């Protein structure tokens, strides 16, 4: 079985996603389908010996929707800007339409040329023009509504389409009567109702689109972890290429301050890499020849060359993104209930609307009043909140989890999480900030702690070692200025040496003490601090140990 995720255009409510899901499941060769309304995509499992992507996209079209090809996690909707401009224009037109048709009801001054009683024909023509404009603006709603009705899967658009067209066609009849001299039919015009209903549906979708776009940010942030370009060796010379041009087996170059472009294995050099976005570990990982590197890791301090092994969709970060996308397509039990209810909801509303219409006629009400009640039932009963609220809540939750580094494999896990009362972690260092922090300071000098840390932070600010960030962060958090450092020297594998305020300082691990023949009288403290598996920095002033600092 093969799995693909297609981007789907034309879904507007839960009934849409339900209808597409049911239609696809009926097709031979498709074993499982999960349609995600909020992400506007469909996860499809199919037998590739029977079907291919092109045939599946034809099924999507037959169901009344459009496939936009394989779902891209960072794809931009090119039409979103145009949609925003259209919405602003039609908002302005809706305000004018409100004024012309209902301004007199709230005491606003009327324009005589468009007065419904003094100039009924001018009034009728102006409303007709506005109504036609809004019908064109909402053509997608009308088309989808009747398409889904034809495919026996009526949805919210179906309710709107029937209601809008009913009032529009009746208004056309009233228009004919007005032009025939029966000016009292001006009271039976409902062009503004057709137009305003479409506008409010578009308003709701505009707000929904903003909410949906926000839910995609976490996934897009995951995608942007990897760089857009890489430097590979071609005939021994470096060449910059796009990430898509990197092939398996290429030798890729990564310098300090750059990110790993693709998963691979180091063939030359050594460096400290920040892999916290994958491992959660705040301590930077030391990498040498033969070590594996992960795309998106940040190179702090070394020049390395590595052989590309896993590229594109095979890379670790791509697999994580795909996991998040697929998780958003799984349905929690509560979501399945909402889908089932909304699936019966629309047909029930149509039946109720028809019963209401004929009941009003039988009770002696005129056609106009009966039609108004018919349209009211259809439009008011749109199941937007029922069909959208549950899946939107689930996807937003998964997006928030992804942004916090929590990957959710199935949506039902979110629902079951409310039952959790105890969380157990099985190894030291699992819970971290993702960056190194100063955890404990053993101060053997007579200097105040902040003065001591200001000196150390000033020295560490000159270093490229990952631990240095913990000290510079301490300076920022405590609003301490960096001091002037002279005669600074970075000693690879040991630490550093430099002068501050006429005193010589040596910072590093226990090996640097041996290098400079400094007696270590604090081995017991070092053992106690190191028991937690954290990094220890010795601070030496004028050949005397004045502090031990633990970072985690």
* 205-214, 467-476, 540-549: the lowest-pLDDT one: 205-214
Average pLDDT over residues 80-94: 85
Domain C-terminal end among 35, 50, 72:
72
Residue 467 inside a domain? The answer is yes
- Residue at a domain's end among 52, 72, 92: 72
Q: Alpha-carbon distance 29 to 49, whole Å?
A: 8
Decide if 416 is inside a domain. no
Contact 257, 263 (CB under 8 A): no
- Say if residues 547 and 441 touch (Cβ distance below 8 Å): yes
Based on the fold, state whether residues 130 and 193 are members of the same structural domain: yes
Judged by average pLDDT, the poorest of 74-88, 149-163, 296-310, 481-495 is 74-88
CA 523/CA 531 separation, integer angstroms: 12
Same domain, 310 and 235: yes
Task: Report the predicted TM-score, pTM, of the whole model to 2 decimal places.
Answer: 0.53
Q: For residue 345, is it within any domain?
A: yes
Full domain range(s) for residue 452: 438-551
Question: Lowest-confidence range among 53-67, 344-358, 462-476, 524-538?
Answer: 524-538
> In this predicted structure, what is the pLDDT of residue 264?
93
Contacting residues for 80 by C-beta, under 8 A, at least 6 apart: 209, 213
Phi, psi at residue 521, to the nearest 5°? -105, 10
Check whether 204 has a pLDDT greater than 50.
yes
HSE of 485 in the Cβ direction (CA atoms, 13 Å)?
A: 20
489 plus 527 within the same structural domain: yes
Q: What is the CATH number of the domain that holds 24?
A: 3.30.70.100
107 and 155 in one domain? yes
CA distance 506 to 287: 25
Looking at the structure, tell me whether residues 52 and 144 fall in a common domain.
no
What's the rounded mean pLDDT across residues 475-485?
Answer: 88
Q: What angle do CA 511, 254, 229 make, to 5 degrees?
A: 155
Token digits of residue 413: 């896990």
Residues 6+ apart with CB under 8 A from 528: none
Same domain, 285 and 246: yes
Whether residue 231 is found in the same domain as residue 255: yes
Catalytic residues: 426
Same domain, 211 and 332: yes
Examine residue 160 and state whether it is found in any structural domain, yes or no: yes
Q: From CA 49, how far away is CA 31, in angstroms rounded?
A: 13
* 203 lies in the same domain as 348: yes
Q: Establish if 289 belongs to a structural domain.
A: yes
| 226-231 contacts at long range (C-beta below 8 A, 24 or more positions apart) | 226/259, 226/261, 226/262, 226/295, 226/296, 226/315, 226/317, 227/258, 227/259, 227/261, 229/261, 230/261, 230/262
Chain segment 371-409, per-residue pLDDT in tens: 888 888 876 765 555 555 666 676 677 667 766 767 676
**What distance in Å separates the CA atoms of residue 526 and residue 512, rounded to the nearest whole number?**
14
108 and 239, same domain (yes or no): no
Q: Which of 265, 287, 314 delimits the end of a domain? A: 314
Q: What letter would DSSP give residue 383?
A: -
Instruction: Tell me, yes or no, whether 427 lies in a domain.
Output: no
- Same domain (yes/no): 204, 344: yes
* pLDDT given for residue 217 in this prediction: 65
Domain match, 8 and 55 both = yes
Which secondary-structure segment (H or E) carries 357? helix 333-362
Domain contains 405? no
How many domains in the chain? 4
């Amino acid at each position: 079985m093969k799995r693909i995720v297609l981007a789907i255009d034309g879904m507007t409510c839960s009934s849409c996603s339900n209808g597409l899901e049911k239609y696809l499941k009926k097709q031979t060769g498709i074993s499982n389908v999960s349609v995600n309304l909020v992400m506007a995509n469909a996860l499809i499992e199919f037998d590739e010996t029977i079907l291919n992507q092109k045939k599946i996209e034809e099924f999507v079209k037959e169901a009344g929707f459009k496939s936009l090809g394989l779902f891209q996690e960072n794809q931009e909707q090119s039409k979103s800007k145009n949609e925003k401009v259209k919405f602003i224009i039609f908002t302005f037109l809706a305000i004018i339409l409100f004024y012309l048709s209902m301004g007199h009801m709230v005491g606003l001054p009327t324009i005589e040329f468009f007065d419904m009683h003094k100039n009924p024909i001018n009034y009728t023509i102006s409303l007709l023009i506005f109504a036609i404009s809004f019908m064109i603006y909402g053509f997608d709603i009308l088309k989808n509504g009747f398409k889904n009705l034809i495919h026996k899967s009526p949805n919210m658009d179906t309710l709107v389409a029937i209601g809008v067209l009913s009032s529009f066609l009746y208004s056309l009849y009233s228009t004919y009567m007005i032009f025939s001299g029966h000016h009292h039919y001006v009271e039976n015009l409902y062009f503004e109702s057709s137009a305003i209903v479409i506008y409010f549906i578009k308003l709701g979708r505009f707000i929904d689109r903003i909410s949906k776009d926000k839910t995609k940010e976490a996934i897009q942030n995951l995608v942007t972890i990897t760089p857009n370009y890489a430097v590979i060796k071609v005939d021994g010379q470096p060449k910059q290429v796009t990430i898509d041009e990197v092939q398996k087996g290429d030798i890729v170059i990564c310098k300090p301050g750059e990110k790993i472009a693709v998963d691979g294995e180091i063939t030359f050099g050594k460096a400290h890499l920040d892999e916290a976005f994958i491992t959660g570990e705040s301590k930077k990982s030391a990498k040498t020849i033969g070590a594996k590197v992960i795309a998106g890791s940040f190179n702090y301090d070394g020049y390395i060359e590595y052989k590309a092994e896993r590229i594109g969709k095979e890379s670790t970060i791509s697999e994580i993104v795909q996991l998040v996308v697929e998780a958003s397509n799984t349905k929690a039990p509560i979501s399945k209930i909402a889908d089932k209810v909304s699936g019966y909801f629309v047909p029930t509303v149509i039946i109720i609307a028809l019963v209401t219409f004929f009941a009003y006629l039988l009770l002696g009400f005129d056609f106009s009043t009966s039609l108004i009640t018919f349209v009211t039932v259809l439009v008011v009963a749109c199941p937007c909140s029922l069909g959208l609220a549950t899946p939107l809540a689930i996807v937003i939750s998964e997006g928030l989890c992804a942004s916090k580094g929590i990957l959710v494999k199935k949506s039902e896990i979110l629902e079951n999480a409310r039952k959790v009362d105890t969380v157990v972690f099985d190894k030291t260092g699992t819970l971290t900030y993702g960056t190194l922090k100063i955890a404990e300071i053993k101060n053997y000098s007579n200097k105040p702690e902040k003065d001591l840390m200001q000196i150390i932070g000033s020295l560490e600010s000159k270093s490229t070692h990952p631990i240095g960030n913990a000290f510079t962060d301490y300076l920022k958090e405590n609003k301490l200025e960096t001091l002037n450092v002279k005669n600074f020297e970075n000693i690879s594998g040991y630490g550093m040496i430099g002068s501050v305020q006429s005193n010589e300082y040596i910072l590093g691990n226990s090996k640097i003490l041996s290098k400079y023949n400094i007696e270590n009288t604090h081995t017991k403290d070092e053992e106690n601090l190191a028991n937690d598996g954290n990094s220890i920095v010795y601070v030496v002033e004028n050949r005397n140990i004045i502090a031990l600092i633990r970072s985690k």
